[in-house]
Amino acid sequence: MRPRILKIIFWLFAICTPFVLIVLVATEEELIATLLSFFYFSILFVVGIRWVSRQLKTIIKLKNEKSKTELLHLKSQVNPHFFFNTLNNLYGLVEEDSKKAQELILKLSDMMRYSIYEGQRDFVTVKEEIEYLKNYIELHKMRYHKKTEVNFNLHIQNEESKVMPLLFIILLENAFKHGVENLRDGAYIHINMTSGANEIHFAIENNFDASEVTKEPGIGLNNLKRRLELVYPKKHSLSFAITEDVYKVQLTLKQL
């Protein structure tokens, strides 16, 4: 009730004061009119500044909420078809090799838990993200009946350093999807990840079938670029290079 009364008093003061000033000027009470004018416009200035400040805070808050909502939506798009494909493979593997199917189920369970729970956090440790990538690689190795060379080289100074979850998986998933899955023989993926005091560097290289190249970036890469813009503005670099049948990607993240 009190804020409402204060608002009424302020608006009465704001509306009535100009008329009082007119009367004072008309009666040649210049000193009083000058003091009242100074007081009146000072109050209006302070109130105006506070109003503008509140509006800016509201706009920033709405923008942050919108960004958070967009991030959650983008995270929810990561990897759904991978899980469906793995479940389809499990169906045929249960009778063929039950022990291998059990191993696959455990790894898939770990990955789904990570995506659902850890994936919704703002940041996770580098160690947690690495384990997720390793599980992904192992699942793919179990799926394929062809020989695939996958090298994952790590040079990590601090496993507890923070990174946004589910960023690197998009690049790794693309390497399998557009490289390994389309090649009958000689498929390879080379991954190098380094983590220093101030930045994390992730590089991935894979060969592919040149006849399967598409010029349009997929949903996954657009997803990745947008998330980097939202969380690592001016603190990341992402580059792509294609040489004949070799695809290279490099992602560098500055510590926030």
For a pLDDT cut of 90, what percent of the chain falls above it?
Answer: 23
pLDDT score for 23: 67
Claim to verify: residue 151 and residue 245 sit in the same structural domain: yes
Contact (CB, 8 A) for 76 and 236: no
What is the pLDDT of the chain when averaged over all its residues? 79
| DSSP assigned state of 166 | T
Enter the tokens of residue 42. Answer: 């000072």
Claim to verify: residue 55 and residue 94 sit in the same structural domain: no
Residue 71 has pLDDT above 60, yes or no: no
Claim to verify: residue 243 and residue 225 sit in the same structural domain: yes
End of a domain among 73, 96, 117? 73
Claim to verify: residue 23 and residue 142 sit in the same structural domain: no
Claim to verify: residue 181 and residue 93 sit in the same structural domain: yes
Enter the tokens of residue 108. Answer: 């898939």
CA atoms lying within 13 Å on the CB side of residue 26: 6
End of a domain among 46, 73, 100? 73
Residue 37 has pLDDT above 90, yes or no: no
Claim to verify: residue 124 and residue 181 sit in the same structural domain: yes
Q: Which residue has the tokens 């500044």?
A: 49
Claim to verify: residue 130 and residue 242 sit in the same structural domain: yes
In one-letter notation, the amino acid at residue 151 is N
Claim to verify: residue 25 and residue 91 sit in the same structural domain: no
What's the mean pLDDT in 108-114? Answer: 84
Question: Strand (E) positions, the chain?
Answer: 124-125, 149-156, 162-163, 188-195, 199-207, 236-243, 246-254
Claim to verify: residue 111 and residue 27 sit in the same structural domain: no
Claim to verify: residue 154 and residue 62 sit in the same structural domain: no
21: containing domain = 2-73
Claim to verify: residue 94 and residue 182 sit in the same structural domain: yes
Backbone angles phi, psi at 252, to 5 degrees: -120, 130
pTM: 0.69
pLDDT score for 29: 67
Report the distance separating Cα 179 and Cα 150, nearest Å. Answer: 12
Per-residue pLDDT tens digits for 153-178: 999 998 899 998 888 988 998 898 88
pLDDT score for 230: 84
Claim to verify: residue 92 and residue 139 sit in the same structural domain: yes
End of a domain among 73, 99, 131? 73
Question: How many structural domains comprise the chain?
Answer: 2
Domain with residue 126: its CATH number is 3.30.565.10
